[in-house]
C-alpha cells in the first residue's frame, strides 16, 4: 500500500465517521421531544430533579441506568408504587419499612420536596427507554389497565397495578406489607369498610401506616372483592 492510498483511506474513514456521528447527533435531538417527552418537563419536574440530586438518591437507587444497585430501580417507580406511596416512603421510611428487611434512612424530605419528586419520577416513567427495567413493565401495564379498564383487571393485575408495590400474593408483588392471603385470613372488615380503608386507611384505622391509595372507587371495590374471595376460599377449605 502506498502512502497516498493510506492517506485516502484515513480521510475517507474519518470524514465518513464524522458525517455519521453528526447525523446521529442531529437525529437524536430531532427525536428527543418524542421519546423524552420534553413538553412534559414542568417547573415542578425540574424541582423534583433537584430534590433527587440534593439527597443523593443515586447513592442507593438507579434511574435510567445510572446509579447504585443497593435499592430498587426508580425509573418506573411511579407506576410501581403510586404517588401517595412514594410520598409516604420518602418522608417516613422508618415507618413504612418498620417490619421489612429493607431499610431506608429518614433524610428529612419535606412535603413539598416529596410532591416535586413524585412529578419528576412520573415524567421519568414516561420516557421511551425500550421498556427498561423489564421487571417493572408488569406494573406499567397494570397501571394503565387500572386507569382505562378497571373492570378487566384479573388477580395479577390487581396485585401488580394497585398493591404490588408493598403487598404480595404468592410469588407476586413485594413483601414490605402483608401478604393478601394473610389479610384475608385476619381481616374482620366487610366490603364497604375494605373499600373505605383502601381509599383512606386512616379514616378506618387512625394508627395505620398505609397511605391513601391512588385508585378509583371502582378499583377499590375490585380489591375488596378480591380480598373477600380469598377469605371465602379459606373458609370453604376449612
Least confident of 81-85, 94-98, 211-215, 229-233: 229-233
pLDDT of 132-156, one tens digit each?
Answer: 898 888 888 888 877 677 667 677 7
Greatest extent of the chain over all pairs of C-alpha atoms, in Å: 90
Cβ within 8 Å of residue 130, ≥6 positions away: none
pLDDT of 83-123, one tens digit each?
Answer: 888 998 899 888 878 777 778 999 999 999 999 999 999 99
> Comparing C-alpha atoms, which of 137, 161, 179, 139 is closest to residue 220?
161
Please name the fold of domain 136-237: Cytochrome Bc1 Complex; Chain D, domain 2 (1.10.760)
Sequence ranges of the domains in the chain: 39-130, 136-237
Least confident of 51-60, 155-164, 181-190: 155-164
Q: How far apart are CA 23 and CA 36, in angstroms?
A: 19
Instruction: Specify the pTM.
Output: 0.72
pLDDT of 47-89, one tens digit each?
Answer: 999 999 999 999 999 999 999 988 899 999 999 888 888 998 8
Fold equal for 39-130 and 136-237: yes
Residue 233 pLDDT > 60: no
Identify the DSSP state of 40: G
Please name the fold of domain 39-130: Cytochrome Bc1 Complex; Chain D, domain 2 (1.10.760)
pLDDT value, residue 237: 41
Q: Which residue has the cell 394508627?
A: 207
Q: How many residues does the chain have?
A: 238
CA separation (Å) from 45 to 76, 80, 191?
15, 19, 38
Amino acid at each position: 500500500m502506498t502512502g497516498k492510498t493510506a492517506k485516502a483511506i484515513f480521510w475517507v474513514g474519518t470524514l465518513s465517521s464524522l458525517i455519521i456521528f453528526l447525523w446521529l447527533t442531529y437525529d437524536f435531538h430531532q427525536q428527543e421531544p418524542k421519546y423524552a417527552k420534553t413538553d412534559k418537563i414542568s417547573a415542578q419536574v425540574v424541582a423534583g430533579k433537584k430534590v433527587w440530586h440534593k439527597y443523593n438518591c443515586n447513592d442507593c437507587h438507579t434511574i435510567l441506568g445510572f446509579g447504585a444497585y443497593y435499592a430498587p430501580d426508580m425509573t418506573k417507580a411511579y407506576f410501581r408504587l403510586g404517588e401517595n406511596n412514594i410520598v409516604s416512603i420518602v418522608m417516613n421510611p422508618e415507618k413504612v419499612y418498620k417490619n421489612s428487611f429493607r431499610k431506608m434512612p429518614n433524610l428529612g424530605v419535606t412535603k413539598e420536596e416529596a410532591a416535586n419528586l413524585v412529578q419528576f419520577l412520573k415524567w421519568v416513567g414516561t420516557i421511551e427507554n425500550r421498556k427498561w427495567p423489564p421487571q417493572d413493565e408488569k406494573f406499567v401495564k397494570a397501571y394503565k389497565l387500572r386507569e382505562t379498564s378497571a373492570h378487566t383487571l384479573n388477580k395479577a393485575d390487581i396485585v401488580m397495578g394497585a398493591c404490588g408495590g408493598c403487598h404480595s400474593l404468592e410469588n407476586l408483588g413485594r413483601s414490605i406489607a402483608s401478604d393478601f392471603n394473610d389479610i384475608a385470613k385476619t381481616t374482620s372488615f366487610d366490603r364497604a369498610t375494605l373499600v373505605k380503608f383502601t381509599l383512606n386507611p386512616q379514616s378506618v384505622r387512625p394508627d395505620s401506616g398505609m397511605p391513601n391509595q391512588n385508585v378509583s372507587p371502582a378499583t377499590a371495590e375490585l380489591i375488596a372483592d378480591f380480598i373477600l374471595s380469598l377469605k371465602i376460599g379459606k373458609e370453604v377449605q376449612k
